[in-house]
Structure 1
Amino acid sequence: MLRACIAGIYEHPTRKAPDKTVAQLHAECAKGALEDAGLTLRDVDGYFCARDAPGLGANSMADYLGLTRLTHIDTTDTGGSAYLIHVAHAAQAIMSGRCKVALITMAGRPRSEGSAGADVGARLLTPTVPEVPWEVPYGPNTLNLYAMVAARHMYEFGTTSEQLAWVKVAASHHAQHNPHAMLRDPVTVADVLASPRVSDPLGKLDCCVVSDGGGAVVLAHPSIAGSLKHPRIQVIGSGESIQGQRGGAIDLMRSGAAISGPIAFEEARVTPRDIRYASLYDSFTITVIVQLEDLGFCEKGRGGWFVADGNLISGIGSLPFNTDGGGLCNNHPGHRGGMTKVIEAVRQLRGQAHPAVQVRDCDLALVQGTGGMLGSRHGSATIILERV
């Protein structure tokens, strides 16, 4: 079956950009992805962005980029998972005839602006936000919400801090081969356990980095992608969902991946056992463990055991993950890590990852995004990509 293809990718190399605007970062990412695809702005008739785009979002950015032939736009925003949803929506739009070449851009500069990413954001604390009167008195922030999930996972399933640490160890093992990664020094389980506690049971090394930068992805109709220079990377499955508080009946151990994952697998007609490489949202080490369970790579409660002893390390474990270092070591531009997860999955499928971490015969990859916060409300998106 012919499907829409990812034809171009670009990850901005900077991790701190005090001399660039957010719009400029978007533009530089767009330019890089289009050049990678062998296309130009004149070829783009579909544009996708989220709330990180400045001004009036797509209105401002389309004008800034000089996109004059647009017939389809999408500004869906579910936080860091939005860019996976954009990939899925772009593929659907292309195959339904709404556009032929879709551009997705993402950028941010929280590092230059002094944002640590720990608070929930001023725009989410206004009195008109429906949950504010009920939750803000208890002082939620990103760190303590994820720590709450980690603590509950430990209580229910016996997960240990040592097991959480193996996620960071795997990411650092990969990041040492990425010249752009913010944290390139490999760490041990002992190093992670010795890092300062930021919100018990999570330590500093259980948390992702804060970076400027961004990325872009170009999708094209298969009739166009077939004539371009890269192997065809098809979007063969996708799923999306929102996980909320469920009127107080929230299950802290269940993420939106429990819904979006099975939908994507069913559409792709594959199972977790078929996946050769996984790009998993890694805002914190616990985020990876919960997603692995909900996606079906292991039973609920067995995530800690699954990641232990290097099982996520390329060339060593059964499921290589985040071979660029991920959000834990490489970058997390704009506090939104979904875009870079798509980009590294495409590198793996093209055979363009660093030789030290390239997965052998990688022809099927999964990308999972979580936008928002586990322990509160978040968007979830899963896409499955295949090299054909």
Structure 2
Amino acid sequence: MPRKKHTARITGVADTAMGELPGSTALGLHAEATNAALKDAGLKAQDIDGVLCGYSMTVPHLMLSSVFSEYYGISPSFNTAIQAGGATACIMLANAVALVESGACRHVLCVTGDNRLTGMTRDGAVAALATVGHPEFEQPYGMSVPASYALVAQAYLHRYGITRDELSAIAVSARKHAALHPKATKRDPLTLTEVSESRVIASPLRLLDCCLISDGGAAVIVSAADAARDTRNPVRVLGSGQGHTHEHIMAAPSLTDFGCKASSAMAFAQAGVTAQDIDVAEIYDSFTITLLAELESIGFFEKGEAGKAALAGELSQGGRLPTNTHGGLMSYGHSGAAGGAFHIVEAVHQLRGEADARQVPGAQLSFVHGDGGILSAHCSLVLGKD
């Protein structure tokens, strides 16, 4: 049965400064992003009747959304936290859409933020991420998040003959976009050689194949269609979908096909478009292999072709599919749940024509995707101009 068309709008977006922010706190970053998103939408704090938070590694509270609402001084009629790793922000937005379309809320705030760079020690960060592995069959043997993604990269290299330069081209493409964004953490030029010669983290993944660790926050406001009429510049949510095939990499049914195949198919079908109709893509890129694998599973490129496309400049400005136009997690910044929210913020800026030097001319449709765990939880969104 065809799914009912969405009517919700994204009415406000914002992210904070990025990178190393001494003195920042997770809740402070949440509040800063919220202030900016409310201003962007032309709304007041009392207009918000729904609050969705993600999670924080520096404030690991079981009820983070309640903690934030208390901190910010609001009493929403709906309030909960969602934890799905890198898919959190997109799943938050999908839930916000359901809330406003059901009539439960008028304006839902989706807010994320963490000071992972200055608020955690390296050992603390490693310990926190170690919980991702299966407690019986992975953690005792030293499995790490980078090592899990390295398994996927090794499978791709073996099956499709992907070259080192094809992986490196993913990082280089991201850096080219970041150079055009004044808030990006890493803006200096990056070469294929620099990526391929950076130190090994988990073979074949090297340091510059990996995302950053940053302080930062982001907020997105989703409003009911009639409630969006008085806001500044709303963006339509045209389609959404989720796909979940496994949690731990040891249980993955495939190392080359993932839940993004199902989630994107649902989102495209609901929006009434195909992958070929998308003007700009903002896709979770925790590692170079993450983006490469997802581009192919989603259907933007045939198997074994995404790396070649990156080498040919097809993911860059002027290419076939400008991707992660803010610089992505590898060059813009990554602060936990907010990492996926940065992709949503950038997609909205592109559709509004507010992306300045990195603007994709005539962008009408944007695809956003988040994945959490080890390519485990997936949520896809299709956004369009109102």
Counterpart in the other structure of 1:62: 69
**Residues 64-101 of structure 1, C-alpha deviations (whole Å, 9 max, x = no match):** 11122x22233221111111011111111101101000
Mapped to 2, the partners of 1:88 and 1:341 lie a distance apart of: 14
Distance 1:284 1:86, change over 3 A: same
| TM-score of the aligned structures, taking structure 1 as reference length | 0.92
Counterpart in the other structure of 1:338: 340
Q: Shift of the alpha carbon at 1:246? A: 8.8
Mapped to 2, the partners of 1:73 and 1:335 lie a distance apart of: 17
**Residues 245-285 of structure 1, C-alpha deviations (whole Å, 9 max, x = no match):** 59846311122201211111111111000000000111111
> Secondary structure of the equivalent of 2:138?
helix
Q: Shift of the alpha carbon at 1:142? A: 1.3
Residues 1:312 and 2:319 are matched in the alignment: no
**Residues 115-136 of structure 1, C-alpha deviations (whole Å, 9 max, x = no match):** 48973626827xxx9x311222
Q: Is contact 1:280-1:367 (8 Å) kept?
A: yes
* Equivalent residue in structure 2 for 1:328, among 311, 315, 330: 330
Residues 1:379 and 2:380 are matched in the alignment: no
Mapped to 1, the partners of 2:306 and 2:140 lie a distance apart of: 32
Q: Shift of the alpha carbon at 1:341? A: 0.6
Aligned pairs, number? 377
> Secondary structure of the equivalent of 1:222?
coil
Mapped to 2, the partners of 1:117 and 1:90 lie a distance apart of: 32
Q: Is contact 1:166-1:189 (8 Å) kept?
A: yes
Q: Is contact 2:30-2:217 (8 Å) kept?
A: yes
Distance 1:334 1:44, change over 3 A: same
Output aligned runs, 1:15-94, within 5 Å: 15-52=19-56, 55=61, 56-68=63-75, 70-94=76-100
Q: Shift of the alpha carbon at 1:308? A: 2.2
Distance 1:82 1:350, change over 3 A: same
Q: Is contact 1:149-1:252 (8 Å) kept?
A: yes
Q: Is contact 1:197-1:203 (8 Å) kept?
A: yes
Distance 1:323 1:42, change over 3 A: same
Mapped to 1, the partners of 2:112 and 2:270 lie a distance apart of: 27
Q: Shift of the alpha carbon at 1:195? A: 1.6
> Secondary structure of the equivalent of 1:132?
coil
Q: Shift of the alpha carbon at 1:335? A: 6.6
Q: Shift of the alpha carbon at 1:361? A: 0.7
Mapped to 2, the partners of 1:252 and 1:116 lie a distance apart of: 29
Counterpart in the other structure of 1:194: 197
> Secondary structure of the equivalent of 1:67?
coil
The runs of 5 or more residues in structure 2 that have no matched partner are none
Mapped to 1, the partners of 2:293 and 2:302 lie a distance apart of: 10
The runs of 5 or more residues in structure 1 that have no matched partner are none
Output aligned runs, 1:135-150, within 5 Å: 135-150=138-153
Q: Give percent identity, aligned residues only.
A: 35
> Secondary structure of the equivalent of 1:223?
coil
Counterpart in the other structure of 1:251: 254
| Code of the aligned partner of 1:321 | T
The CA RMSD over aligned residues, in Å, is 2.0
Q: Shift of the alpha carbon at 1:29? A: 0.8
> Secondary structure of the equivalent of 1:9?
strand
Distance 1:116 1:35, change over 3 A: farther
| Code of the aligned partner of 2:362 | D
Mapped to 2, the partners of 1:117 and 1:162 lie a distance apart of: 33
Deviating beyond 6 angstroms after TM superposition, the runs of 4 or more aligned structure 1 residues are none
Mapped to 2, the partners of 1:98 and 1:75 lie a distance apart of: 17
Mapped to 2, the partners of 1:207 and 1:335 lie a distance apart of: 17
| TM-score of the aligned structures, taking structure 2 as reference length | 0.93
Counterpart in the other structure of 1:151: 154
| Code of the aligned partner of 2:35 | K
> Secondary structure of the equivalent of 1:337?
helix
Residues 1:214 and 2:217 are matched in the alignment: yes
Mapped to 1, the partners of 2:97 and 2:129 lie a distance apart of: 34
Residues 1:114 and 2:115 are matched in the alignment: no
